[in-house]
Amino acid sequence: MFLNFSSYFWYLPVVLLGACVGSFLNVVIYRLPLGLSVNEPKRSFCPLCKNSIVWWRNIPIVSWLLLRGKCADCHAPIPLRYWIVEVVTALLFAASWYQSSVLTALLLFVFMALAVTIGWIDAEHQIIPISLTWGGSAVALIYAGFHPELLQLRDPAAVWHAHQGPWWTGLKDAGLGWVLGFFGLWSVVLLGKMIFGKKKITFDVPTDWQLIDAPTDADPVVFSCESENIPWDDLFFRKSDELLLECTAIELNGSTIDQGLLKIREHEITTPDGMVHRLEDVKILSGKVTQATIPREAMGMGDPHLLGMIGAFIGGFGVIFTIASSAVFAIVAAVLGRIGFGRPLPYGPFLLLGALTWIFGGWKLWQLYVDWITFL
C-alpha cells in the first residue's frame, strides 16, 4: 500500500505537507512586501505585540481555529487570510496529487506554492515579486529537461514522445512557453501605454495640490490633489514618465515660483522658468493647478514576468488559454465588484486562476475547441 502512490493513504501526508507549506507562505506573504527577511526572525511573531509564537500555537489550520482568530498574548485579531492560505494550499496540493503522476505532482507543488504567494501579494499590494517569477521559471525550465509531462497536458501521446526524445525537447517547449508568455503580455503593456498612458484632468477652478514627504525611508512620497493621494511608485513606472501640472501658483521650499507648466519626474522637478531641482532637495512643494496630466500604466511589468513563468510550467498552448480565460475572470470580477473603468485591478490573480483552470481540466476545453474548429 505504501508504494502504491494512487492509494488514498498518501492524501493525508500530502494535505499535511500542503498545510505546512501554506503556513510558511503566510510568512512570505507578510514579510516580503515589507522588505523583511523570511529567515530572521525564524519564529513567526504577532505583527502587533511582536511576541514570538510558540510552536503549539502555530499548528497549521488548527491553531487559528483554537485561538478563535486572536493572538494568545495581546488578543489582537489574526486575519482570516492566514487560515485561508493554509487551507487553500493544502487543497491545491491534494488536487495536484490526485490528477498527476508523482513527478508531475512534485512540480505542481512548486507551482501551487508560487501561485498562492504571488496571487495574494498582488491582490493585497498590487505588486508581483519578480524574484519569485524568475525562481519559478528556472525550476520549470530545469524540470522540463527530464520530465515534460505538464507541458503536454493537451496531448497525452506527446508525453511519451517527449520522454523518448532528447532532453532538450522539453526544455525547448518550456522556453517557448516562457517567451510567448512574457513577450505576448509585454506587447500588451506597450500597447496599453500608448492608448491609456496619460490621464488628463481639467479643474473648473484652481485646485490645491502638494507633495507629501515620506515619513520613513520605507514609505513613498505622495502626490495629493483634491483629496486623492497617489504614491510615487504608482506615478512613475518608467524613466520617461512625467507628471505635468498647469499651475496658477507654486511654492517651492518656502519661495513663490512663477505660474506655468511644472514638470515632475521620478527624481527631479522642472519649474516653469526651466530650473531643475533634485527631488531630494525639495522639502516643500505645493500650489494650485488648473490641469494635470498624470502618467499611468494599463498593466504593471510584473504581469509579463508572471505569464512567462506560467508559460515555462504549462507551455505555449497553456499561455494562450490563460490569457483568454483570465480576461473572462477579470471582467466577471470587475462586474461583481462594481469596479469602474480606470480603477486599478491587480491582474496577477486572474492570470494564475486561468493557469490553474488549464491544469485542472481547462486543457480539455481547449481540445474540444480545436476539434470543433477542425470539424468546421
Q: Can you list the residues of the chain whose pLDDT is less than 50? A: 1, 160
Residue 264 and residue 287 in contact, taking contact as beta carbons nearer than 8 Å: no
Res 167: pLDDT: 66
The closest of 100, 104, 115 to 21, measured between CA atoms, is 115
| Distant-in-sequence, close-in-space partners of 16: CB < 8 Å, separation ≥ 6 | 90
Q: What is the largest CA-CA distance in the chain?
A: 83
Identify residue 354 by its one-letter amino acid code.
Answer: G
Q: What does the alpha-carbon distance between residue 116 and residue 22 come to, in Å, rounded to a whole number?
A: 8
Res 288: pLDDT: 94
Identify residue 131 by its one-letter amino acid code.
Answer: S
Residue 276 and residue 268 in contact, taking contact as beta carbons nearer than 8 Å: yes
Res 101: pLDDT: 87
Res 161: pLDDT: 53
Identify residue 331 by its one-letter amino acid code.
Answer: I
Residue 238 and residue 232 in contact, taking contact as beta carbons nearer than 8 Å: no
The closest of 356, 233, 357, 243 to 301, measured between CA atoms, is 233
Note the pLDDT tens digit of each residue in 231-286. 887 788 788 889 999 999 999 998 998 899 999 998 999 999 999 999 888 889 99
Res 175: pLDDT: 96
C-alpha cell of 232? Answer: 510615487
Residue 96 and residue 105 in contact, taking contact as beta carbons nearer than 8 Å: yes
For residue 167, give the DSSP letter: T
Q: What does the alpha-carbon distance between residue 158 and residue 135 come to, in Å, rounded to a whole number?
A: 27
**Domain locations along the chain:** 1-99, 101-182+301-376, 198-295
Name 223's bridge partners: 211, 230
For residue 52, give the DSSP letter: B
What does pTM read for this prediction? 0.81
Residue 270 and residue 211 in contact, taking contact as beta carbons nearer than 8 Å: no
Q: What does the alpha-carbon distance between residue 279 and residue 259 come to, in Å, rounded to a whole number?
A: 19
